[in-house]
Amino acid sequence: MPIVDAVADIYKALADGTRRALLDELVERDEQTLFELCSRLALKHDLTLTRQAVSQHLDILEAAGLVEAERRGRYKFHTIDTRPLAEIAERWPTRKADA
Amino acid sequence: MPIVDAVADIYKALADGTRRALLDELVERDEQTLFELCSRLALKHDLTLTRQAVSQHLDILEAAGLVEAERRGRYKFHTIDTRPLAEIAERWPTRKADA
DNA sequence: TTGACAGGCAAGTCGATGCTTGCCTATTGT
DNA sequence: ACAATAGGCAAGCATCGACTTGCCTGTCAA
């Protein structure tokens, strides 16, 4: 996958509110499973999605390089990687509209 | 418009490659008109869109607070405002996946 | 071994979104 | 005044994206 597409994936990944909520949860605690993240979305964010929907979101986050997943036995643990986000801040240097 | 929705608009605005290219152009030079931006997209980014399409993108960027527009006579000048982007970097503090 | 649990795959639905087309308004210069 | 220029509005289309439903695979414990 070309770099350009990978970068585009980061922005698309952040475009969805549910995925941003997932990143919020993963920043609070690493190594969470799909079921853990499902229940946390429901409890703390009032997002009642099916397990598959959350799984698809995690796939997108993983493709964008924002989440790493590791399977251990029956469980799959998800961890956030915030490094790709630095590119966003650096792309458009600070420039204020007025003054 | 609630703050939450405004923040969501920032991410949605960045999700489109054409809009990111527009921000790239505006970071290089402020106070550009719709026609200027159209030709620059075509020349430098190989994006041949109609004037209306670019105008719609600028509307979205403006709604997200990333672009300010000022009408002077026959022309409308567009200026980038990078301040909303700071929120993105601050939302998910640095946390590396390994080590 | 077998049932329960964690997760994966794939198709289908439906609303959101990017873009075009056609026409209209406003400002400027001759 | 009127033609040319810069921009705006709105409807229509076609693709994309989020979500669900139904079923399958793999792992662990009793």
Per-residue pLDDT of A47-95, as tens digits, reads: 999 999 999 999 999 999 999 999 999 999 999 999 999 888 889 987 5
Identity (one letter) of the amino acid at B68?
E
Which two three-digit tokens encode residue B69?
A: 């527009």
Which two three-digit tokens encode residue A27?
A: 């920043």
Percent of chain A with pLDDT over 90: 80
For chain B, the average pLDDT equals 90
A14–B17 CB contact, under 8 Å: no
Test mutation, B11, B47, B68, B79, chain A, max A CBs within 10 A: B11
Angstrom distance, A45 CA to D9 C1':
38
Which two three-digit tokens encode residue A43?
A: 């409890």
Strand partners, A77: A70
Please classify residue B70 by burial: count the beta carbons closer than 10 Å to its beta carbon, then call 0-12 exposed, 13-18 middle and 19+ buried. exposed
Alpha-helix runs per DSSP H in chain B: 3-14, 17-28, 34-45, 51-63, 86-91
Which two three-digit tokens encode residue B90?
A: 């601050």
- Backbone phi, psi, residue B84, to 5°: -60, -20
Residue listed under structure tokens 């009408």: B71
Cα B32 to Cα B64: distance, rounded to the nearest angstrom: 18
Show the domains of chain A with their CATH numbers. 3-84 (1.10.10.10)
Cα A98 to Cα B80: distance, rounded to the nearest angstrom: 10
Which two three-digit tokens encode residue A94?
A: 């600070």
B89–A91 CB contact, under 8 Å: no
Q: What is the pLDDT of residue A34?
A: 98
Q: State yes or no: pLDDT of A97 exceeds 70.
A: no
Which two three-digit tokens encode residue A84?
A: 């790709």
